[in-house]
Amino acid sequence: METENRPLDALNQSRGKRVMVELKNQKQLIGKLRAFDIHINTVLEDTEELENGLTKRKLGLVFVRGDTIVLISPAH
């Protein structure tokens, strides 16, 4: 399928679902993927910040600057 050939299309399949976003500063955010753009600037809803696997903060709505992101994966 054509849409599977582009990384942003694959990311789009996670829109509206909970994802884990790993940041360059070692932290992880888990929240519902609401929006992203070509820079991978990303907006999450109902977000929790984890450090070493433990919830550290509840952040609610979060805008993440794309260049701080390592990877995005569906949350288990």
Site residues (CB under 8 A) for a copy of itself?
4-11, 14, 23-26, 29, 34-37, 40-43, 47, 59-74, 76
Q: Which is nearest to 8 in space by CA: 29, 34, 31, 39? A: 39
* Long-range pairs of 33-36 with CB within 8 A, sequence gap ≥ 24: 33/72, 36/8, 36/11, 36/66
CB 54 → a copy of itself: shortest distance, Å?
A: 15
CB 4 → a copy of itself: shortest distance, Å?
A: 6
CB 32 → a copy of itself: shortest distance, Å?
A: 11
